[in-house]
Structures are given as C-alpha cells and as structure tokens.
Chains A and B, each alone.
Chain A
C-alpha cells in the first residue's frame, strides 16, 4: 500500500505541478523541457532520474516563481518517495515559501512528516492542503494513512440484563 500511495502522491503532484494551467488545460512541455521530463520520470517512479532532470530544469532555465515552486514541490515528492523525508521537507518548505497556495506541496510535506512519524505536523499540513483543495484524492488517502497510525482504537462493551 505504501508504494502505491507513494506513487499516487508523487505522480499526481508531479503531473499537475508542471503541466496544470489555471484553466485546467494540459499542455505537455510548457517551455521547460527538463521540468516536464523530470515530472514524468517521477510519475514513473524513476525518482533519481526525476530529481536529476528537475534540478537541471531549475538551473538551466530561468523558471517562473510558480514553476520553481512546483519543481521544488516535485523534488520534495521524489525524495519522500525515496524514503528521505528530511530532504523532502526542506524542498517542500522552500516551495511553500515561494508559493504558499500549492496544496500539493503541503500534501507532500505531510507525507514526509508521516514517514517520520510526526503525525501532528502531518495533520497540520494536511489540513492546510485540504483548505485549498478539499477534494484531493491524495489528501483523503493520506489522512486515512495518518489516522491508521495515529489513532488507537478502543471498543468498550457493556451488558444490560
């Protein structure tokens, strides 16, 4: 389940972070080929390649603030997917410093916190993501994962007779 979720988180994030347009058009290769190729690689679970391409996209081009924020969020997703939540959190935080309205960056950082067992922080970020996009499938999925780890179930039975 972890791998599937990871793919879902990273993949969705990567795809729409680079390609999503304000009017929801999907434009492949929106000017920064490295960022697009990096996003695609991350979606395909080729995290190292995705990281390499995304970093090239950040250095070889002069991406806009929005693209830079999205690219950093993708790096966050890739590092989280690789199981390196500390690096992931740094990238997500950088992304959110540039663009505080990106729900995917909050969602990715929430996942990184989840990997570290920091469920309060994960929930806090997840709430922020949900405030921006309440219908995000990844948000619902991740909240379920956090609840499974962070909630202790109890059943109290009482007989009446």
Chain B
C-alpha cells in the first residue's frame, strides 16, 4: 500500500463504519472479484453475506471488529483473511491478507433494506448487487514520458463509487507505487463511464468498484539489418 494514499486522507475525520456496506473483495486468483455485504454492529459484531448464494442463512459471523489508531480490523476464519481499513478515508476499504495472498476491499454504504438485514425481496429476488457494472467507456492512461525515460514501471489501484447514471465518483487511491502514475491513472478513470442502471427503492444507489492499472515496459529488440551481414566480395575475382 502506498504511503501517499494514506497521507492524503490524514486530515479527514474517521469514518463511521457501523451499519451495512455493499463491498467488493478482489485479489484472490481462485475466487476472482467477490461481491459481498458487510455489516458492522455497534456491539462489535461483524457479519458477511454473499447476495444470491444462500438466502436462508445469508449472514455469516466474522470475528469481532476492533479499532486501533484509526485502523479497523477483523478476520474471516473461513477464508483465513485478515481485513484492515484506515478509517481516515472518504470511503470504507483497505487490504486483506492471508498467509499467502494479498488483496483489497472497498465498500459503499448499503441501502436501508440491506441495513435492516433484508436480503431478498418478497419474490425471492436477491436485493443487492446482483448486476455487474458494465464499462461503457474505458479510457486508457498515457504512460508518463518521464517514467519511460527513467524506465519506471508501477501499479495503481483506485477505488470509487458509481452512481446509477454510470458516473464515477469519489476516487481514492488504495495503492500507488509511484507518484508519477497518479495523474494519468486518475485522468483515465475520470474519463471512463459505466452503463446506467435503474436503482430500486431501498437499495443503495451507489456501487463500489476498483480499477487497477499495471504500468509495464517491454524492451524492444534492436532491428536486425540483413545487409550488415552480407559479404560484399569487393576483392572477389571475376
């Protein structure tokens, strides 16, 4: 995680993390991106639900949450993940780790229905996060010229919210390997757009999402000049 991303939020008041959140968990190569609901009770309880998977027993208890130095932490014994989040950020999210894996998570406040632990509508339709976000415009960042000159490679991860019009809001860097990649990553993200959707009453109107940018350089091999290897036979006898 980048120190600069943490420092940027150093002046913010700690976020109130209690309540239900619509979250994405990423970074596990086997599970892929996971949509989940997280609920933090004022009594220290933490619960997780995966919408659409088990409607009868939707909420799985996790470890109790704790806060130390404005950092929220809790664990999921089933997956072995330990979650951390800096609370002095505009949004709720951070990183998770297991003994061998490392990933991130990002949340937006869930709607009232989810907050009330109602996960399905009367018709049995899962209430939250069943539709994926579909990128409509996915702008590519320009590789910074100075980074090429200095042969710098790097990575950035920005988490943000998407409103029902498909517009990106509140971008926040979760990971940034070098400041040189901040502006192009942010510019590209803000030029991007998702397909709009219809928000239903009781559901959260904003959707959480993250985008990672991997900046890499490939060495171009020297062009082979076939004439360089041709014997001229200047002294050849007729």
> How many Å lie between the Cα of A53 and that of B140 in the bound state?
53
Chain B 128-168 interface mask (CB, 8 Å, partner A; 1/0): 00001101001011010101111100000000001000000
Whether A118 lies near B222 (C-beta < 8 A) is: yes
The number of chain A residues touching the other chain, given as a range, is 20 to 34
Whether A152 lies near B211 (C-beta < 8 A) is: no
> How many Å lie between the Cα of A124 and that of B218 in the bound state?
17
Whether A153 lies near B215 (C-beta < 8 A) is: yes
A150 within 8 Å of B by Cβ? yes
Whether A160 lies near B24 (C-beta < 8 A) is: yes
Whether B212 lies near A160 (C-beta < 8 A) is: yes
Instruction: Decide: A159 near B209, CB < 8 A? Known: A117-B222, A147-B149.
Output: yes
Whether A117 lies near B135 (C-beta < 8 A) is: no
Shortest beta-carbon distance, A61 to chain B, in Å?
36
Whether A159 lies near B216 (C-beta < 8 A) is: no
> How many Å lie between the Cα of A39 and that of B31 in the bound state?
66
A151 within 8 Å of B by Cβ? yes
B89 within 8 Å of A by Cβ? no
The number of chain B residues touching the other chain, given as a range, is 35 or more
Whether B209 lies near A119 (C-beta < 8 A) is: no
Identify which of residues 99-136 in chain A touch chain B, using a CB-to-CB cut-off of 8 Å.
117-121
> How many Å lie between the Cα of A151 and that of B223 in the bound state?
13
Whether B209 lies near A161 (C-beta < 8 A) is: yes
Residues on A with C-beta less than 8 A from B109 are none
Whether B218 lies near A151 (C-beta < 8 A) is: yes
Whether A120 lies near B222 (C-beta < 8 A) is: yes
Whether B214 lies near A148 (C-beta < 8 A) is: no
Shortest beta-carbon distance, A94 to chain B, in Å?
21
Name which residue of chain B comes closest to A149, CB basis: B220
| A-B CB contacts (within 8 Å), total count | 92
Residues on A with C-beta less than 8 A from B33 are 160-161
> How many Å lie between the Cα of A19 and that of B145 in the bound state?
36
Shortest beta-carbon distance, B215 to chain A, in Å?
5
Residues on B with C-beta less than 8 A from A147 are 148-151, 217
Whether A159 lies near B210 (C-beta < 8 A) is: yes
Shortest beta-carbon distance, A156 to chain B, in Å?
4
Instruction: Decide: A153 near B210, CB < 8 A? Known: A159-B133, A161-B33.
Output: no
Name which residue of chain B comes closest to A113, CB basis: B222
Residues on B with C-beta less than 8 A from A117 are 222-223
Whether B215 lies near A151 (C-beta < 8 A) is: no
Name which residue of chain A comes closest to B32, CB basis: A160
B59 within 8 Å of A by Cβ? no
Shortest beta-carbon distance, B119 to chain A, in Å?
19
Whether A157 lies near B218 (C-beta < 8 A) is: no
Whether A161 lies near B133 (C-beta < 8 A) is: yes
Instruction: Decide: A156 near B220, CB < 8 A? Known: A161-B24, A161-B208.
Output: no
B26 within 8 Å of A by Cβ? yes
Whether A151 lies near B210 (C-beta < 8 A) is: no
Residues on A lying within 8 angstroms of B by beta carbon are 117-121, 143-145, 147-161
Given contacts A144-B149, A147-B150, A157-B138, 14 further A-B contacts (CB under 8 A): A143-B149, A151-B218, A153-B143, A155-B140, A155-B215, A155-B216, A156-B213, A157-B212, A158-B211, A159-B209, A159-B210, A161-B35, A161-B132, A161-B209
Residues on B lying within 8 angstroms of A by beta carbon are 24, 26-27, 33, 35, 104, 106, 132-133, 135, 138, 140-141, 143, 145, 147-151, 162, 188, 207-223
Could you write out 25 A-B pairs with CB less than 8 Å apart?
Answer: A117-B222, A117-B223, A118-B222, A120-B221, A144-B149, A147-B149, A147-B150, A147-B217, A148-B149, A149-B220, A151-B217, A151-B218, A153-B217, A154-B143, A155-B213, A155-B215, A156-B214, A157-B141, A157-B212, A158-B211, A160-B33, A160-B104, A161-B24, A161-B207, A161-B210
